[in-house]
Amino acid sequence: MSSARSRSLRLPAVLLAVGLLAAACGSATGAAAKSRRAAPARATAVAGGTATYALQPTDTFNWIFPYESSAGEEPWVLAADENMWMPLYFEGSGNQPTIDQSLSLAYPPVFSDHDRTITIRLKPRTWSDGKPVTTRDVQFALDLLKAGESRVATYTPGQFPDNVASVDYVSRTTFVLHMKQSYSQQWLLDDELVQIFPMPQHAWDRESAGGPVGNDDLTPAGAKKVFDFLYGQSEHLATYATNPLWKVVDGAWYLTSYSAATGQMTMTARASYRGPQRPHLHKVVFDVFTSDTAEVDALRNGTVDYGYIPYSDLGLKSYFQSHGYTVAPWNTDYVQDAELGYTGPYAKFVKQLYIRQALQHLIDERLYLDTALHHTGQLTYGPAPDIAGDVWASPQERTDPDPYSVAAAAKLLDGHGWKKGAGGYLTCRQPGTGARQCGAGIAAGTPLRLLMDYTTPSASTAAQAEAFATAAKAAGVDIVLAPESATTMFSVDGVCPPGPCNFAIALYPLWFQNYGDMSILPIGDAQYAKGNYYGGGYYSPRYQQLLQQAVTHSGISSIYAAEDYLSRNVASLWFPTGDNQISVVSDKLHGWRPQQVFGNWLQSRWYFTKAG
């Protein structure tokens, strides 16, 4: 239910389409191999200390309120929030896409009444000011979500909290959700209950900074005023480290310094924290560098404990391994796809299944994975991540339904009335809605010209976009490439839907959809359901039926059916999915393995060692 729209793999120069992609193929042999070196034999753990973690240049912390805005919904933002405010159910257990019960704020839910009723009991936890976490904090959070749902990035109409009929707050530790109908227990836990973040009602239930704390959330009008106040406070980045609101946390960490200018932030361990995974370190500095070169230099100089190397610098792997570092790709449960514009000037093309299938045939995933991504990542054929050990990808999604073939793409288009004209590009010669005609809204003589936006300065993304456009030209499709900054992509493409979508294709670097930001099941319920925010306005009545089956029936077959339909229907264009990063970690820092499946740092596990 999220978008990693600003993530990029920043290489120093843009590769030149297919030719340079192929030339780079041999440069990353063994890049995915993980170092297995053990810690020094006599190393002992050190209590305290400060570790420095390198964020990538655009991975700035630009939101703090646990209900994220569309612009602030990024995995690194959620990672920071989840270390300060604990979710009811914590997504990702080690390298497995499941709920981590040990880090969850509540005990496993109890379902009854044909799964229409969910009883939830809170674990004993306290806020940083000593007040207990109670169901009043859950009530406050749910009241705010209902009041401000249209501004919350994870909200999809008809889903949580719209599908909740009522809530009973039985005691300070137990509450009961009554759903409007029976749903799959798996879906309720993995995609719905994970959205609940109890919030400190006793500190946040106010309508202004100087106003009194009351019970304003208990009325819809009051809840809206409180939501608007907190949402507005989150827009003031410069006050993140000083605003007393953000000091009241129930997690193990809180923000102690933050620079809105550079994005650098420091999180300090909470001394009074008594929950799971009590921190070993005293502080963690999350540093942001102006370039990959600057970050690699900091690794060389020993001023970064946990950083990364870009794909272009994989040749430095042996250097860092011989200088006291472990190099390990961070494989995450994400999916890379290019968003399609189902509303706006290109909708008449995008809505044609045969055009989407033809475009998919022009994407050489194996080439992109082996070259632009240097063998690091996985092939992607649908909405479910196909990583080792993940049970959610269906058998169909593990094979390519539309393999790379310029000839197959050209045949599809020719069979629907497109013929090459001047310059070798296709124009519609058979307008109409018949089986061998161009399709609704496409007039005679219309050129098959599509605008493709992609984010800079990711050379990996540019290389894939250019290779795709080159293959498309061979089939007669005119792909107009429009490299844009992340900021522009956010402000232009990022507001679609409701649209109109002024693009045919929008490609963001590394990955687009990440399950684990309020969603575990990869059934596309947030990205492609009716009223979606991240699917470019995609809508299919058949998919809605399959989605309804997946969310109301237990078992994996209905989940597979929804995934398979999106895959074969080419709801988005599927691209290979790169790893989160190639991590470079000091051998003095331990506890960071396994790297969490949804990209959470889990810095409470980290600790330094020294020679005994």
- The SS3 of residue 589 is strand
Helices and strands per DSSP (H, E), number in the chain:
16, 27
Cβ(95)–Cβ(331) below 8 Å: yes
Which distant-in-sequence residues (6+ apart) come within 8 Å of 391 by Cβ? 556
Specify the amino acid at residue 561: A
Cβ(223)–Cβ(143) below 8 Å: yes
Whether the predicted pLDDT of 35 surpasses 60: no
Specify the amino acid at residue 145: L
Q: What is the arithmetic mean of pLDDT over 459-487?
A: 94
- Strand ranges (DSSP E) for 203-305? 253-258, 265-269, 283-288
**Can you give the pLDDT at residue 15?**
36
Whether the predicted pLDDT of 314 surpasses 60: yes
Cβ(572)–Cβ(511) below 8 Å: no
Q: Distance between CA atoms of 7 and 335, rounded to whole angstroms? A: 13
In whole angstroms, what separates CA 228 from the centre of its chain?
Answer: 25
Whether the predicted pLDDT of 19 surpasses 60: no
* Same fold across 38-56+239-332+582-611 and 342-578: no
Q: Distance between CA atoms of 419 and 424, rounded to whole angstroms? A: 9
Specify the amino acid at residue 327: V
**Can you give the pLDDT at residue 75?**
82
Please check whether the domain covering 38-56+239-332+582-611 is classified as CATH 3.40.190.10: yes
Of 333, 349, 377, residue with least CA distance to 575: 377
> Largest alpha-carbon pair distance within the chain?
79
**Can you give the pLDDT at residue 458?**
81
478 exposure class (CB count in 10 Å sphere: 0-12, 13-18, 19+): middle
The residue written with tokens 């250019």 in the block is 466
Q: Distance between CA atoms of 364 and 343, rounded to whole angstroms? A: 27
Q: Is the pTM of this model over 0.75?
A: yes
Cβ(525)–Cβ(191) below 8 Å: yes
Which distant-in-sequence residues (6+ apart) come within 8 Å of 576 by Cβ? 336, 365, 366, 368, 369, 373, 377, 378, 379, 380
Of 368, 459, 372, residue with least CA distance to 380: 368
Q: What is the arithmetic mean of pLDDT over 416-425?
A: 94
**Can you give the pLDDT at residue 3?**
39
Of 347, 314, 331, residue with least CA distance to 537: 347
Whether the predicted pLDDT of 254 surpasses 90: yes
**Can you give the pLDDT at residue 291?**
86
220 exposure class (CB count in 10 Å sphere: 0-12, 13-18, 19+): exposed
Lowest mean pLDDT among 36-40, 315-319, 576-580: 36-40
Task: Report pLDDT digits (tens) over 505-518.
Answer: 999 887 777 776 77
Which distant-in-sequence residues (6+ apart) come within 8 Å of 149 by Cβ? 155, 161, 162
Q: Distance between CA atoms of 513 and 528, rounded to whole angstroms? A: 11
**Can you give the pLDDT at residue 42?**
54
**Can you give the pLDDT at residue 473?**
98
More confident residue, 600 or 459: 600
Beta bridge partners of 454: 483, 507
3-state DSSP helix/strand/coil % of the chain, to nearest 5: 30, 20, 50
The domain locations on the chain are 38-56+239-332+582-611, 342-578
Cβ(194)–Cβ(520) below 8 Å: yes
State how beta strands 325-330 and 581-586 pair. Answer: antiparallel
Q: Label residue 569 by pLDDT band (50, 70, 90).
A: very high
Query: Into which CATH architecture does domain 342-578 fall?
Result: Roll (3.10)
Task: Report pLDDT digits (tens) over 430-469.
Answer: 999 999 999 999 999 999 999 999 998 788 899 999 999 9
Q: What angle do the packed helices 135-148 and 220-234 form, to 10 degrees?
A: 90
Of 474, 484, 509, residue with least CA distance to 368: 509
